[in-house]
Amino acid sequence: MKICVLSDIHFKYIQSSPDDKANARIVLSFLREAVGRYDLMVLNGDIFDLWYDWKYTIIKQYFPLLHRLAEIGEQGCKLVLISGNHDFWFNSFLRDYLRMEIHDDLYRLEADGKKMLFTHGDLHTVNDVRYKILRKVIRMKGVRWLFSMLHPDLALWLGHKLSRSSRLRKVSSKLKRKKASGLQDYAARQLSRKNFDIVVMGHSHYPILKELDGGIYANCGDWMRHHSYLEIIDGKPELKTYKIKETQA
């Protein structure tokens, strides 16, 4: 089985910097080449910088990305999407129109003799109580309903402001490392208990492929700096980075 795992694309509906535009171009180019190449694509959280689909409305700036994903699905690749900390308010659009399978926290798979676990990882960073509370609040039905009542233009402007302010909050590299080690600790626990052979996470934005006691921990990295992804071909994981071929540049 040919599996591709991506996370932390953070595709922006407002591409305000040249970097945002370049990153979008790179991931779209990768996805164009991925058409017909895989049996399963796992989108492991934070694919969209923010997601909401209203009853009659979707965010049109995502069209290029949705188009590529639809194409990949149409060529027979199963699409599985796991919520991240930026995209978790999924209604029926991706299920109905892209035939995606959507999971709130994690996705388990047994294939090629390996037990695999895919989860974004935001629940498993170390000691982030503030975030855990925020996560609960933001996933409450009432909050979601309030958001749905806003005009999409207003809702998305608000979302942009909030996501920018959270990104500008200074996080020391020491804290970042501590957070990332929380992900690995979680994976190590799952592997040592023999629950899984391969644990794949995202969220840290650092690509990792590591042999631990009992199995392999992988992190797909991100598409903002590393343009990295994980392939699991016949049960064997391999970390890769993508570069646009010069002829296309």
Rule CB under 5 A: is residue 85 a binding residue for Mn ion?
A: yes
Q: Least distance from C-beta 151 to Mn ion, angstroms?
A: 27
Amino acid present at 26: I
Residue 62 is encoded by which pair of tokens? 């995502």
Three-class SS state of 46: coil
Site for Mn ion in 141-160 (CB under 5 A): none
For Mn ion, the binding residues in 163-222 under the rule CB under 5 A are 203
Taking the least distance from each CB to Mn ion, the nearer of 84 and 152 is 84
The answer to whether residues 106 and 82 touch, using CB atoms and an 8 Å cutoff, is yes
Cβ-based nearer residue to Mn ion, 32 or 132: 132
From the CB of 84, what's the least distance to Mn ion, in Å?
Answer: 5
Restricted to residues 17-56, the positions that interact with Mn ion (CB under 5 A) are: 46
Q: Closest distance between Mn ion and the C-beta of residue 8, in Å?
A: 6
Residue 152: CB minimum distance to Mn ion, A: 23
Return d(Cα 46, Cα 68) in angstroms, integer.
17
Q: How far apart are CA 203 and CA 46, in angstroms?
A: 8
Tokens of 58: 């979707």
* Distance (Å, whole) CA 138 – CA 50: 12
Distance in Å, CB of 1 to Mn ion, minimum:
26
Cα separation, 149 vs 167, in Å, equals 26
Which residue of this chain has its Cβ atom nearest to Mn ion in the complex?
A: 203
Closer to Mn ion by CB, 16 or 166: give it.
166
What is the smallest separation between the CB atom of 121 and Mn ion, expressed in angstroms? 7
* Cα separation, 192 vs 6, whole angstroms: 25
Q: Which residue has the tokens 């027979």?
A: 76
Q: In the complex with Mn ion, which residue's Cβ is closer, 2 or 132?
A: 132
SS3 195: coil
Q: Which one of 82-90, 107-115, 151-159, 160-168 is the stretch in contact with Mn ion (CB under 5 A)?
A: 82-90
Name 109's bridge partners. Answer: 116
Cβ-based nearer residue to Mn ion, 68 or 179: 179
- Fill in the DSSP letter of residue 8: -
Sole window of 76-84, 96-104, 165-173, 174-182 interacting with Mn ion (rule: CB under 5 A): 76-84
Residues forming the site for Mn ion (CB under 5 A): 46, 84-85, 203
